[in-house]
Amino acid sequence: MAQALLEVLVRHPGDVAGADEGGADRLHLVGEADLSPEPALVSAVCRESELPVHVRLRLNDTWTTTGGELARLVGLAEDFLRCGAAGLSFGFLDPDLRVDVEVTTHVAEAMVGVPWVFHRGFDDALEPERAWATVLEIPGLVGVQSAGSPRGLAVGYDDLLALATRWPRIAERLVAAGGLAGEHVPWLVRVGVRSFQVGAQVRPGGTDKAYVDAGHVRSWRLLLDDAVALAERSASAG
């Protein structure tokens, strides 16, 4: 049976044990204010687990970057990889809120062979179908974190499900993220989505002041596995 990928957003080495014990497949490390963490933090998290760690690559609070920042970003990415990161999380939009192909491709090509995901900034792009068609052609891309709306899956779920239903390539690359709820999972799995990210959902009280809890993660692990098993049985029966 194919297994869904469960990615857990972590912010501290203390989050790692709960994610690992609960059955996560990948960690997504972000720093303060959802910017890049310090290399020392990356190293500390990577030492705590054998799970692959993808690290956020972002230096300011917008989805754009400058020429001066670009060299720093590439250097920082190299530092993260030396610290044990298995992949990266980045992506850039231009002033017109379209995927900045030139800048995003520059970073991707500087990290040849390194898997990367386009982070939730993708949801701020105008013309979602055009954004998807563009990003899927950038080398090294293994996923796009999306809720279908900057306001999360509570708002964007229906549009995101419709896109994934129409475009199997979107379903294959989608990492459903941003307010994921249990009721979203079976329908997304049914149309081919196999990657999911959770954050606040696996912290007691939903607050970053609490570490990731193994029991909460395990509940999501079981939910995803059950949804995939049911979808496969339905497909076989049909």
Under the banding of pLDDT at 50, 70 and 90, the label for residue 236 is: confident
Under the banding of pLDDT at 50, 70 and 90, the label for residue 238 is: low
CB-CB contact of 1 with 228 (8 Å): yes
Q: What is the pLDDT of residue 234?
A: 83
pLDDT tens column, 133-167: 999 999 999 999 999 999 999 999 999 999 999 99
Scanning the structure block, which residue is given the tokens 């029991």? 215
What domains can you pick out in the chain, each with its CATH number?
5-237 (3.20.20.380)
pTM of the model: 0.95
Upper half-sphere CA count for residue 219 (Cβ side, 13 Å) = 11
Under the banding of pLDDT at 50, 70 and 90, the label for residue 181 is: very high
Sorted by sequence, the CB contacts under 8 Å of residue 112 that are 6+ apart come out as: 139, 140
* Cα gap 197→146, rounded to integer Å: 10
Q: What is the pLDDT of residue 226?
A: 97
Mean pLDDT, the chain, as a whole number?
95
Q: What is the pLDDT of residue 85?
A: 98
| pLDDT of residue 29 exceeding 80 | yes
* Cα gap 156→141, rounded to integer Å: 22
Q: What is the pLDDT of residue 187?
A: 97
* Cα gap 18→35, rounded to integer Å: 23
Q: What is the pLDDT of residue 235?
A: 80
| pLDDT of residue 211 exceeding 70 | yes
Q: Region 84-96: what's the mean pLDDT?
A: 96
Q: What is the pLDDT of residue 2?
A: 65
| pLDDT of residue 111 exceeding 70 | yes
Question: What is the share, in percent, of the chain residues with pLDDT greater than 70?
Answer: 99
Q: Region 163-177: what's the mean pLDDT?
A: 97
Q: What is the pLDDT of residue 67?
A: 80
